[in-house]
Structure 1
Amino acid sequence: MANVLNLFDNAPFSAVALTASVNVVPNAYGRLNELDLFSDEYVPTTAVMLNIDRGVLNLLPMGSRGGPASLGRPGTQRLEAFVIPHIPHDDAVLALDVQNRLAWVPRGDTAGELAAGQDLIESKLITMRRKHAITLEYLRVGAIKGAILDYDGTVYMDLFARFGVTPKSVDFTFGTASADLGSKCREISGYIEDNLMGDTMSGVMALCSPAFFDRLVTHASVKEAYKYFVATQNPLRNDLRKGFIFQNITFEEYRGSATKLNEDKSTSVQRFIPDGDARFFPLGTTDTFTNYWAPPDFWAQTNTAPNPADRVFVAPLEPMEFGKGMKIHTESNPLPLCKRPSVLVRGFSSN
């Protein structure tokens, strides 16, 4: 058998190599990443300052040629600082984890080599990156809900309060057979269009909890439209939960969730969109959804905007006391923001 690489000889990877190892893992950030909803902005600070402008569009009076023009008046504006979350995560590989462990080999290869220390480190890094990825999806869902939450559900940032916006909710009253859900959809689309405040959009989307989606497509005022939609979409081939268009709104069942560690050390499943809810937001905007990225908490990268390729940072390996193993430190520093929370709508049913 081949010799086992000494895990403790000169730290197997540099910080650059470790970060590169993390970055080869596919970006499994979830549905909001696939939608490309958020533009990315990389900043050299740990907070961003936004100018919240309440400009008013008013009609202009006609005037005579050569005469005085009407004067513009400054809109109401204020500066608001938004602190970018810092999300550190530590793990370790112990000598005990490596000792006597066989390396993975391709099917049919019976070499049976012992595992090398860096194999376990890379495996740990993959898992750590995936934890950062699902956390980013969770924060982005918070941004389209208007409230960015910490891991335990506590509110980190209430976007409606920060931007001075009253949240908009629409009751679909699924329990009422005569309810006109088409008019409710048109109400939502019109509300979003009216609140773009200078931005543009290509459409409206709703990410729905499974319960909301099921009650929507089985409601009397939608069932006929859903039947014809199904007929043209080849339901034997396509998963129709991934996009049902009704009243020009794309409804999609969203099952995003993660394991939550409770205070008593037990675990529970935390759905990103509460059961029975749907969240409506515009697609194709240019300046409404932005993901800000701050530099890591590393000496060499202070006051330096991060590289777009480095969204999850890895510190150099740190040997444990008495050479018992290696400590691994990763972190990410994202702030997904909806800068026009007035375009966000909650859908629910009171019956």
Structure 2
Amino acid sequence: MDPETILDIFNNDLFSSTSLTSAISIVPNSYGRIRELGIFAEEGVPTTSVAISRENDTLNLLPMRPRGGPASVGTRAGADARPFMIPHIPHDDAVLAVDVQNRVSLAPARGLQSVQDMVNKKLITIRNKHAITLEHMRAYALQGLIVDYDGTVVTNLFTEFGVTEKVVDFAFTTGTTDVLSVLRGVSGYMEDNLEGEVMTGLLALCSPEWMDQLLSHPTIKEAYKYYAKEQDPITQDLRRRFVYAGIVFEEYRGVATKLNEDGSKTSRRFIPANTARFVPLGTQDVFRTYFAPPDFVDAANVAPPTGQEQQVFVAPLERMKFGKGVEMHTESNPLPMVKRPKLLVKATMS
């Protein structure tokens, strides 16, 4: 198949922005326990920032409006509003001539299908990169931080909302520590600070070290033994989940690698060692992931559709100089937000 015919393939409607975005949306998102738990509700907004305000002990999202347009109405709208920029996460890749040549030469009669398969393979990798990036952002949002890929703190939610992070130390090395009493204290703190919100339970996302110390503590061993006896060890991983005192404890091993400027890679754990994070479950408006429109002209000021696990957009393929291949541009624009960071509790161990 000659080069011009190969490049003509990319003019097919299958490789339009709409088709590629639809294709990447149906790729299964296999990354993210936090996503699976459904802690963060998702909402598309037509702007690249959101403003969060507190009114009558209830946090409300204030929509930004175009100049000259109608304003939102409230008794004290904007009196205590805090603006937050929605992160823009672009990622580029490319389909080179050699990639296409190798695939098409194996099945000349299936030129279009072969190229489509190869592009879809790229999309799967790209989707997974965006997915694990969002999981990383959500994990740190549960720690009161909006962070970049390398852990750089973009926004400290405790500082922004003027609250002090609640830290509870579990003295696991002391055999007489009444762990149940400490846990009741955490639950009570959550309930006392709901301020008009509701919750149905508590979740603790635990580092492996913290989880091990919890399950091996003398005051917990017996309870865990009875809990494990009622579970099915064939179908359930008993290391990962334990329900006690109305709290669901889960061992969380989220980790990803960061590519450094020198080409080396650094692993980054989403829940730091020797810690756990307690968060309320069943709240109405505490946890939210906002998605901004992509940086495309035809999508400006249009709220992305809701109902998808993650919004990743793909631009039309761009032909490279000298016909060397085509460039792929993708992006996601998510902001995981915790509107009541006072409800986030950090657990340490000693």
Q: Which band: TM-score by shorter chain?
A: 0.7 to 0.9
Q: Which moved more, 1:180-189 or 1:305-314?
A: 305-314
Cα offset for 1:165? 0.9
Out of 176, 179, 182, the position equivalent to 1:178 is 176
2:44 to 39, 42, 45: 42
1:344 aligns with 2:344: yes
* Deviation for aligned residue 1:76: 11
| Residue in structure 1 matched with residue 185 of structure 2 by the alignment | 187
Post-superposition Cα deviations, 1:203-247, rounded to whole Å, max 9, x if no partner, equal 000000111111110111111111111111133432113320111
SS at match of 1:120: helix
Q: 1:293 to 1:104 in 2, by over 3 A?
A: farther
Q: Is the CA contact 2:42–2:288 (under 8 Å) kept in the aligned structure 1?
A: yes
Is 1:99 the counterpart of 2:97? The answer is: no
For the 8 Å contact 1:5–1:116, the answer to whether it is kept is no
| Match in the other structure for 2:159 | 161
How far does the alpha carbon of each residue in 1:63-119 deviate from its partner, in whole angstroms, 9 at most, with x for none? Answer: xxxxxxxxxx989951110110000000001001222347999xxxxx997783232
For structure 1, the 5+ residue unaligned runs are 57-72, 106-110
Return the offset for 1:276: 0.9
**1:7 and 1:118 in contact (8 A); partners too:** no
C-alpha separation in 2, matches of 1:139 and 1:104: 41
Secondary structure of 1:119 counterpart: helix
Runs of 4+ in 1 over 4 A off after TM superposition: 2-5, 73-77, 102-105, 111-115
| Distance of 1:29 and 1:79 partners within structure 2 | 33
Structure with the largest fraction of helix: 2
Aligned length: 328
Aligned partners of 2:146 and 2:156 also within 8 Å: yes
How much identity, in percent, do the aligned residues show?
A: 52
Q: Is the 8 A contact 2:280 2:343 kept in 1?
A: yes
Pairing of 1:1-351 with structure 2 (within 5 A): 6-9=5-8, 10-12=10-12, 13-53=15-55, 55=57, 78-101=80-103, 116-308=114-306, 309=308, 311-349=311-349, 351=350
Q: State the match for 1:60 in structure 2.
A: none
Determine if contact 1:7/1:325 at 8 Å carries over to the other structure.
Answer: no
Change beyond 3 A, Cα 1:260–1:76: closer
Per the alignment, in what secondary structure is the counterpart of residue 177 of structure 1? coil
Is the Cα–Cα contact under 8 Å of residues 281 and 345 in structure 1 kept in the other structure?
yes
Matched-pair contact (CA < 8 Å) for 1:54–1:77: no
Give the structure 2 partner of residue 108 of structure 1. none
Aligned partners of 2:104 and 2:115 also within 8 Å: no
Distance change in 2, residues 1:74/1:305 (3 Å) = closer
CA RMSD, aligned part only? Answer: 2.6
> How far apart in 2 are the matches of 1:231 and 1:130?
37
CA spacing shift, 1:252–1:153, aligned 2, 3 Å: same
Unmatched 5+ stretches in structure 2: 59-74
How does the TM-score come out when normalised to structure 2? 0.87
After superposition, the C-alpha distances for 1:103-155 in whole angstroms (9 at most, x for unaligned) are: 999xxxxx997783232221111110110000111111111110121111110
Contact preservation (8 Å) 2:294, 2:300: yes
Q: Distance in 1 between matches of 2:311 and 2:347?
A: 33
Query: One-letter code of the match for 2:51?
Result: M
Counterpart CA distance in 2 for 1:30 and 1:328 is: 25
